[in-house]
């Protein structure tokens, strides 16, 4: 901290004197200043930075919510006419809402961020949304609103393409009913691939399936083997809400593709909520490395008219399965006779794209990949496979030549040609124009002299000719194509470069500017951009990239403690998204007087396959040798970095890595704060643990296995520094048992440590209390100062905020993409 970073001797004298209260007050000022840089506060000081288009169903028009200094506006853009204007008048809409329920609404802060057009998108005069516990319907031409109370018993459904039928799940089975006779109060229309289903809430008591001429299509659905819904997670049971099922209609509205996972005999994890007078116990199926019984994902095709249920005959047996590709409706073939599915075998050793005959369930493999380590279908990007409308060709993303590239297949599984090649990595297919035989995709690392993590949009012919860079700006580009493919929204930024959003034609020509972010209000409170850097890896040859955050009032003649903010991957790096960073805990800690570093070490994605594989099978590595060598290089560049005072912190995988760091390298890391760490991956889910460590191999003679050497509990006796462990007792991603195992080992080793158990909390601990405890710990034990007692960080009601890479983005978190985890 600016005031707290003075010498420890002076601080001791000050605290011992009658003026100690003044010192606490000064520390509170420092904390208050740092608090303004947390995401939920910093984001309010940036305007025009987020353009997330929602495309109209009838063409290329779209709307988006634009942040302003007064609040937010809703903007309508018509690319064909090249017009931009307000979708509705905030003041008139707020007045209409006020009249409807006699409650005042602020025009600058309307109580919703997203809405749907009425009549399933056809009536663009009326918007529908949920706000203040009511379901609203507002005419934005006449400015008249109606509102009704919402109900937890609303049944989420999936609407058929012809808008005539609603498919839903009741008591584990699939039903349909005519839409015209059964207008449910809170419709949830499927948008995009089935992977977009909401997995954040559990089934509440639902309305009876009877009535509205409901028709039951399946009869054998049971608990833990339900159609369309996997077993609810404990957090979903603790706070029940309806879930939308994993159902996809065929284009002709005659059939359904339904996800189903058999978890009946899978071992369970147990959780106890202890905040009530009589504690409550919850459980969920949860397969661990080495288990012989694991979830079995399946897909069924249901004929609505005949009620015939056909199971897809897919081989080899899938361990994870997905119904989503590069096209918005990639599940079904255009003629409604084929279903396309991608899947992984256990340990992610092989990946497949298969075509399933909707009538017989017979399947054939179109594309495949295998690896001695693990196979990816994408690297933190949308899954990239595409089958042409005639079903004769497929585009497939693969790292088979050591880099992520695109390949073209015939439907019989033979490769026609490699589409892209070279020492750079394809991110994801964004759009395919079959008429011109052109593929639009993002890629990283192709442009010399640019940050290899910045994504650009390219286009190329099916045959690999005509490769062209579409987005020329040296920045990271986030692309959203219109359904027609004629236009796309390009939002580009850099670590220190504020976002700019524009509308382009498919060939990259500018149609119009949309928004340019204004960060002047951030600068007004002392914010300064983070700085990207490049260092050498542990091998002394490989370039590594990261971001450093410096104290705003830095005095180069002083020495500053260093904090390493780590997320080890392998599925994402410590930096997270390589986009503009305008706020976050790293900024706040820098404000308190720390130098904060985030590094994407070897073993993280978006580079070569060899780079990503660098510590496969050795979880204990966690990239830590790269972090140590990087910090030493940075200390030469920035002599004010005090490498005698290095702390480390992270959450989830970062919690695992930070504890690993202080135990494995006690001479270098002096203080660690570890949140919700997966400290022993024998207790973590198979989808992540087996993928990156390998299938479990037990050594009966030595009574060990290939996971044990990476378990933090085995190194408990090495603890010499200060360690704070935090974990939520209802964490249904990383079970709290993993932290308890470390606690048990530390007690047996007679080592002192600190522990915070977060009651009724899930995996994420991104709450003010836990952030403050982390600050206090580093201020006291690394800076040698006294933090303000019980300082309260206030998070505005309803505020969003979080940092990618800090909240445990393991594949278990991405349950919406993995049927075995629903």
215-248 pLDDT, tens digit per residue, is: 999 999 999 999 999 999 998 888 887 888 999 9
392-410 pLDDT, tens digit per residue, is: 999 999 999 999 999 999 9
Q: Tell which wins on pLDDT, 699 or 597.
A: 597
The pair of structure tokens assigned to 258 is 């339904």
Interacting residues of 45 by C-beta distance below 8 A, sequence separation 6+: 36, 519, 521, 522, 524, 525, 527, 582, 583
Give the chain's count of helices (H) and strands (E): 13, 44
Which pLDDT does position 194 carry in this prediction? 31
State the pLDDT confidence band at 6, using cuts at 50, 70 and 90.
Answer: very low
State the pLDDT confidence band at 182, using cuts at 50, 70 and 90.
Answer: low
Average pLDDT, the chain: 90
State the pLDDT confidence band at 208, using cuts at 50, 70 and 90.
Answer: very low
State the pLDDT confidence band at 432, using cuts at 50, 70 and 90.
Answer: very high
Interacting residues of 255 by C-beta distance below 8 A, sequence separation 6+: 249, 301, 302, 303, 304, 336, 358
Q: How many CA atoms, within 13 angstroms, populate the side-chain half-sphere of residue 522? A: 28
Beta carbons of 323 and 193 less than 8 angstroms apart: yes
Lowest mean pLDDT among 14-18, 250-254, 290-294, 749-753: 14-18
Helix ranges, 358-492 (H): none
The pair of structure tokens assigned to 559 is 């020495």
Rounded distance, CA 509 to CA 647, Å?
48
pLDDT at residue 582 is higher than 50: yes
Query: If we measure between CA atoms, which residue out of 340, 457, 471, 476 comes closest to residue 395?
Result: 340
Query: If we measure between CA atoms, which residue out of 577, 574, 548 comes closest to residue 562?
Result: 548
Beta carbons of 76 and 63 less than 8 angstroms apart: yes
Beta carbons of 802 and 766 less than 8 angstroms apart: yes
Segment holding 646, helix H or strand E: strand 641-651
Beta carbons of 298 and 312 less than 8 angstroms apart: yes
Rounded distance, CA 804 to CA 653, Å?
13
Which pLDDT does position 20 carry in this prediction? 54
Q: What is the DSSP letter of 313?
A: B
Mean pLDDT (whole number) for 625-633? 98
∠ Cα 652 621 294 (to 5°):
55
pLDDT at residue 800 is higher than 90: no
Which pLDDT does position 329 carry in this prediction? 76
Query: If we measure between CA atoms, which residue out of 700, 765, 698 comes closest to residue 728?
Result: 765
Mean pLDDT (whole number) for 619-636? 98
Q: Tell which wins on pLDDT, 453 or 213.
A: 453
The pair of structure tokens assigned to 54 is 């929602």
pLDDT at residue 5 is higher than 60: no
Rounded distance, CA 354 to CA 367, Å?
7
The pair of structure tokens assigned to 598 is 């985030």
Query: If we measure between CA atoms, which residue out of 375, 261, 284, 377 comes closest to residue 324?
Result: 377
How far is the CA of 574 from the CAs of 5, 165, 603, 730, 811, in angstroms?
26, 45, 11, 25, 16
Lowest mean pLDDT among 56-70, 71-85, 549-563, 716-730: 56-70
Give the β-pairing of 247-249 and 280-285.
unpaired
Which pLDDT does position 594 carry in this prediction? 98
Mean pLDDT (whole number) for 492-515? 97
Q: Using H for helix, E for strand and C for coil, what is the string for 680-736? A: CHHHCCHHHHHHHHCCCCEECCCCEECCHHHCHHHHHHHCCCEEEEEEECCCCCCCC
- The share of the chain scoring above pLDDT 90, in percent, equals 81
Mean pLDDT (whole number) for 35-52? 95
Which pLDDT does position 183 carry in this prediction? 55
- The share of the chain scoring above pLDDT 70, in percent, equals 90
Which pLDDT does position 1 carry in this prediction? 53
Mean pLDDT (whole number) for 627-652? 98
Rounded distance, CA 506 to CA 504, Å?
6
Which pLDDT does position 702 carry in this prediction? 87
Mean pLDDT (whole number) for 714-736? 98
Residue 457 Cα to chain centre, angstroms: 21
In the chain the domains, ranked by start, together with CATH numbers, are 530-814 (3.40.50.1820)
pLDDT at residue 3 is higher than 50: no
Q: Tell which wins on pLDDT, 17 or 777.
A: 777
Which pLDDT does position 380 carry in this prediction? 76
State the pLDDT confidence band at 44, using cuts at 50, 70 and 90.
Answer: very high
The region, left, alpha or beta by phi > 0 then psi within -120 to 50, assigned to residue 192 is left
Residue-wise burial string across 592-625, b where 16 or more C-beta atoms lie within 10 A, e elsewhere: bbbbbbbbbbbbbbbbbbebbbbbbeebbbbbbb
Mean pLDDT (whole number) for 316-332? 87
The pair of structure tokens assigned to 816 is 């919406």
How far is the CA of 740 from the CAs of 235, 325, 690, 744, in angstroms?
20, 40, 22, 6
State whether residue 566 is helix, strand or coil: coil
Which pLDDT does position 674 carry in this prediction? 98
Which pLDDT does position 383 carry in this prediction? 85
Q: Tell which wins on pLDDT, 218 or 702.
A: 218
Which pLDDT does position 191 carry in this prediction? 35
Which pLDDT does position 202 carry in this prediction? 36
Beta carbons of 685 and 287 less than 8 angstroms apart: yes
Which pLDDT does position 16 carry in this prediction? 39
Rounded distance, CA 503 to CA 81, Å?
12
Q: How many CB atoms lie within 10 A of CB 313?
A: 12
pLDDT at residue 8 is higher than 70: no
Query: If we measure between CA atoms, which residue out of 268, 203, 238 comes closest to residue 729?
Result: 238
Rounded distance, CA 164 to CA 120, Å?
11
485-500 pLDDT, tens digit per residue, is: 999 999 999 999 999 9
For the question of whether the overall pTM of this predicted structure is more than 0.75, the answer is: yes
Strand partners, 754: 724
pLDDT at residue 712 is higher than 80: yes
Helix ranges, 463-571 (H): 520-524
Query: If we measure between CA atoms, which residue out of 548, 580, 577, 576 comes closest to residue 564?
Result: 548
Which pLDDT does position 406 carry in this prediction? 98
State whether residue 154 is helix, strand or coil: coil
State the pLDDT confidence band at 327, using cuts at 50, 70 and 90.
Answer: confident
Beta carbons of 61 and 81 less than 8 angstroms apart: no
User: Across the beta sheet with 487-493, what order do the strands follow?
Assistant: 476-481, 487-493, 500-505, 510-516
Rounded distance, CA 177 to CA 214, Å?
4
User: Across the beta sheet with 385-387, what order do the strands follow?
Assistant: 385-387, 393-398, 405-410, 415-418
pLDDT at residue 7 is higher than 70: no
Mean pLDDT (whole number) for 701-730? 96
State whether residue 565 is helix, strand or coil: strand
State the pLDDT confidence band at 211, using cuts at 50, 70 and 90.
Answer: low
Beta carbons of 396 and 469 less than 8 angstroms apart: no
> Per-residue DSSP letters for 219-277?
S--BTTB-BS--PPPHHHHHSB------EEE-TTSSEEEEEEEE-TTS-EEEEEE-SSS
Beta carbons of 275 and 729 less than 8 angstroms apart: no
Segment holding 84, helix H or strand E: strand 83-86
State the pLDDT confidence band at 740, using cuts at 50, 70 and 90.
Answer: very high
673-695 pLDDT, tens digit per residue, is: 999 999 999 999 999 999 999 99
The pair of structure tokens assigned to 396 is 């497939």
Query: If we measure between CA atoms, which residue out of 772, 680, 784, 768 comes closest to residue 722?
Result: 784
Query: If we measure between CA atoms, which residue out of 221, 220, 102, 214 comes closest to residue 167?
Result: 214
pLDDT at residue 192 is higher than 70: no
């Amino acid at each position: 901290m600016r005031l707290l970073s003075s010498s420890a001797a002076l601080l001791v004298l000050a605290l011992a004197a009658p003026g100690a209260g003044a010192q606490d007050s000064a520390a509170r000022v420092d904390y208050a200043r740092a608090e303004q840089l947390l995401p939920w506060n910093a984001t309010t000081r940036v305007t025009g930075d987020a353009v997330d288009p929602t495309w109209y169903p009838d063409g290329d028009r779209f709307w988006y919510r634009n942040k302003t200094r007064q609040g937010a506006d809703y903007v309508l853009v018509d690319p064909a006419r090249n017009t931009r204007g307000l979708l509705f008048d905030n003041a008139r809409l707020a007045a209409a809402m006020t009249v409807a329920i006699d409650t005042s609404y602020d025009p600058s802060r309307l109580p919703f961020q997203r809405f749907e057009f009425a009549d399933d998108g056809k009536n663009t005069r009326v918007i529908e949304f949920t706000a203040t516990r009511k379901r609203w319907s507002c005419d934005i031409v006449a400015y008249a609103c109606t509102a009704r109370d919402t109900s937890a018993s609303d049944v989420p459904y999936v609407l058929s393409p012809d808008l005539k039928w609603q498919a839903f799940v009741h008591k584990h089975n699939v039903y349909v009913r005519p839409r015209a006779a059964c207008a449910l109060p809170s419709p949830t229309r499927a948008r995009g691939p089935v992977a977009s289903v909401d997995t954040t809430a559990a089934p509440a008591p639902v309305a009876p399936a009877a009535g509205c001429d409901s028709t039951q299509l399946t009869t054998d659905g049971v608990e833990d083997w339900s159609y369309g819904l996997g077993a609810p997670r404990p957090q979903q049971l603790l706070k029940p809400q309806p879930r939308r099922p994993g159902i996809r209609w065929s284009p002709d509205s005659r059939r359904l593709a339904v996800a189903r996972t058999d978890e009946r005999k899978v071992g369970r994890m147990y959780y106890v909520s202890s905040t009530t007078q009589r504690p409550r116990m919850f459980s969920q199926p949860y397969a661990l490395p080495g288990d012989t019984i694991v979830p079995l994902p399946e897909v069924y095709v249901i004929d609505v008219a005949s009620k015939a249920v056909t199971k897809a005959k897919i081989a080899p047996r899938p361990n994870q399965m997905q119904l989503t590709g590069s096209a918005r409706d990639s599940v079904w073939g255009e003629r409604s006779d084929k279903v396309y599915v991608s899947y992984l075998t256990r340990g992610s050793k092989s990946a497949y794209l298969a075509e399933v005959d909707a009538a017989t369930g017979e399947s054939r493999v179109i594309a495949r990949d295998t690896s001695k380590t693990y196979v990816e279908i994408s690297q933190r990007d949308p899954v990239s496979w595409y089958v042409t409308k005639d079903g004769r060709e497929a585009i497939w993303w693969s790292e088979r030549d050591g880099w992520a590239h695109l390949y073209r297949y015939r439907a019989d599984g033979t490769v026609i040609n490699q589409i892209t090649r070279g020492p750079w990595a394809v991110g994801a297919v964004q759009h395919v124009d079959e008429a011109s035989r052109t593929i639009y995709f993002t890629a990283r690392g192709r442009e010399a002299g640019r940050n290899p993590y910045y994504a650009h949009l390219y286009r190329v012919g099916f045959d690999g000719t005509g490769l062209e860079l579409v987005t020329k700006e040296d920045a990271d580009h986030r692309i959203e194509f219109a359904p027609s493919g004629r236009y796309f929204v390009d939002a580009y930024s850099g670590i220190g470069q504020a976002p700019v959003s524009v509308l382009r034609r498919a060939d990259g020509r500018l149609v119009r500017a949309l928004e340019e972010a204004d960060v002047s209000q951030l600068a007004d409170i002392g914010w300064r951009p983070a700085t990207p850097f490049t260092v050498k890896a542990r091998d002394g040859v490989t370039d590594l990239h990261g971001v450093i955050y410096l104290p705003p009032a830095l005095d180069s003649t002083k020495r500053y403690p260093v904090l390493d903010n780590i997320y080890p991957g392998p599925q994402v790096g410590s930096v997270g998204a390589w986009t503009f960073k305008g706020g976050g805990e790293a900024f706040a800690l820098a404000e308190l007087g720390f130098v904060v570093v985030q590094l994407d070490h070897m073993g993280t994605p978006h580079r070569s396959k060899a780079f990503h594989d660098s510590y496969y099978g050795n979880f204990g590595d966690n990239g830590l040798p790269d972090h140590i060598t990087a910090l030493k290089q940075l200390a030469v560049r920035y002599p004010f970095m005090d490498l005698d005072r290095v702390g480390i912190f992270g959450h989830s995988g970062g919690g695992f890595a930070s504890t690993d760091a202080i135990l494995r390298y006690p001479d270098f890391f002096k203080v660690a704060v570890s949140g919700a760490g997966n400290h022993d991956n024998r207790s973590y889910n198979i989808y992540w643990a087996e993928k990156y460590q390998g299938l479990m191999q037990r050594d009966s003679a030595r009574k060990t296995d290939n996971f044990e050497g990476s378990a933090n509990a085995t190194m408990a006796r090495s603890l010499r520094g200060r360690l704070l462990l935090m974990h939520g007792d209802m964490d249904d991603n990383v079970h709290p048992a993993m932290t308890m195992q470390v606690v048990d080992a530390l007690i047996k080793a007679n080592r002192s440590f600190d522990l915070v158990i977060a009651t009724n909390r899930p995996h994420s601990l991104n709450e003010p209390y836990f952030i403050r405890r982390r600050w206090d710990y580093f201020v006291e034990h690394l800076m040698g100062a006294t933090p303000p007692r019980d300082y309260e960080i206030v998070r505005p009601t309803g505020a969003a905020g979080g940092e990618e890479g800090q909240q445990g983005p393991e594949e278990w978190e991405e349950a919406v993409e993995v049927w075995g985890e629903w």
